[in-house]
Amino acid sequence: MEKIALMRNVIAIVPGSQEPDKWVIAGNHRDAWIYGGLDPSSGTAALLEVARAMGTAVKQGFQPHRTIVLANWDAEEDLLGGSTSWVKDNRAKLLQDGVVYVNLDSAASGPEFDGGSTPALADFLRETTKAVPHPDIPGGSVYDHWVKASKSGTAEVNEIVGATDYTAFQEHIGMSCIDMTFDGPYGVYHSMYDNYFWMSHIADLGFRYNVTCTQLLALILWRLANADILPLDYSNYAKSALAAIEEIEKMVGPQKSIRLERARNAARRWLKEASAWEKKVGRFLVSEKSLNPKRASEVNSLLMDVERAMTEEEGLKSRAFYKHLVYAPQPTYRTELLPRIFEAIKAQEWNDIPRYEEQLARAFDRAARLIRESSRQL
Ligand SMILES: [Zn+2]
């Protein structure tokens, strides 16, 4: 049955005191297939609790430096509809002032932290989990539990490519994004059994993990809204780009070979600039020197633009909405690295590849230039 219905997003704004134009955004969807106990209502509960906590903080005289926007999206399950249309409506604003988007879909079906981000935020996410207690480890943090539960013994941050409401922010705008959840034995995905009974009796007794997720979300937002220098580490990003180049070269069968040397060299130049920048920031932060607010704002805008530099207006051939050069989701949600080249290989459109490689090299050089400029300002 076809039905036309209205989508309703609910947006709350906590105005910033020093840089009110700059938006740190968190979002979660509200629509569900059936009851949606975990997906998405556990996330909605967390978002509402963060709103309540921030409201209390503001009433007590604490105000974030940057504005915090809390968004409750509609129509995620159908088509990522609420978030996508809001991003399209606010495109110019987000290009200019969108700092970071933090997504929370399902908050917690169990104890295991599962964190993903664009590569520049991976270290920030790890650091922040160290400050939140984990209910299963007395005296221990979410980070400790994360490391203990992982097969590799390290806190692995997933690459994110678009699957839930961060998609438009990452793919259409080029905003740095985080997407996170706490996992456990699940099995009720999108079914009528994902309800309050399952949440309260099986998934999360006493809602301890939901509370933990809420604390983490609040801390992430508060730190991002108040950081003097945004915690965007692009050396991680350049390394991910180099790994993506290698992977896509291997994707081509033995009958054909592609070498993306131009893109690789540009990514190396980017890596060099980013590593130098991170050392400089480290020294700056321990020196306890202060940066005048106008300067800091310029530096932060340059850093935000590095993620924007990973996009190109043209968009993917078959899906022009997707403007990111490094990541896109396949229609199955699986990762598509360097999507233009990936799709050209799949379609055997070999002649397009040099142009796509050129776009990549230009993007990496843009990123290096922006970071060099931030260095000059610091
Ligand atoms: Zn969901």
pLDDT for the residue 288? 81
Domain end call among 204, 226, 248: 226
Do the domain assignments include residue 58? Answer: yes
Centroid of ligand 1 to alpha carbon of 189 (angstroms): 9
Quick one: which of 256, 238, 229 has its CA closest to 344?
256
Match 């059936």 to its residue by tokens: 34
Between 331 and 180, residue with greater pLDDT: 180
247-260 tens-digit pLDDT: 999 998 777 889 99
pLDDT for the residue 44? 98
Do the domain assignments include residue 3? Answer: no
Residue 30 and residue 83 in one domain: yes
Mean pLDDT of all residues in 141-167: 95
Centroid of ligand 1 to alpha carbon of 32 (angstroms): 7
Q: Clarify whether 336 is annotated catalytic.
A: no
Which pLDDT band, with edges at 50, 70 and 90, does 289 fall under? confident
pLDDT for the residue 3? 84
Centroid of ligand 1 to alpha carbon of 148 (angstroms): 27
Average pLDDT, the chain: 96
Do the domain assignments include residue 301? Answer: yes
Residue 219 and residue 268 in one domain: no
Residue 188 and residue 323 in one domain: no
Centroid of ligand 1 to alpha carbon of 143 (angstroms): 24
Residue 126 and residue 168 in one domain: yes
Centroid of ligand 1 to alpha carbon of 327 (angstroms): 21
pLDDT for the residue 332? 82
Please report, for the domain that includes residue 14, its CATH number. 3.40.630.10
Residue 205 and residue 252 in one domain: no
Q: Domain limits at 249? A: 234-377
Domain end call among 163, 196, 226: 226
Domain count, the chain: 2
Mean pLDDT of all residues in 155-171: 95
Centroid of ligand 1 to alpha carbon of 23 (angstroms): 23
Catalytic option among 2, 19, 49, 76: 76
pLDDT for the residue 256? 83
pLDDT for the residue 27? 98
Residue 296 and residue 193 in one domain: no
Do the domain assignments include residue 104? Answer: yes
Which pLDDT band, with edges at 50, 70 and 90, does 163 fall under? confident
48-77 tens-digit pLDDT: 999 999 999 999 999 999 999 999 999 999
Do the domain assignments include residue 2? Answer: no
Residue 222 and residue 243 in one domain: no
Domain end call among 174, 203, 226: 226
Do the domain assignments include residue 114? Answer: yes
Residue 214 and residue 240 in one domain: no
Mean pLDDT of all residues in 328-339: 91
Do the domain assignments include residue 142? Answer: yes
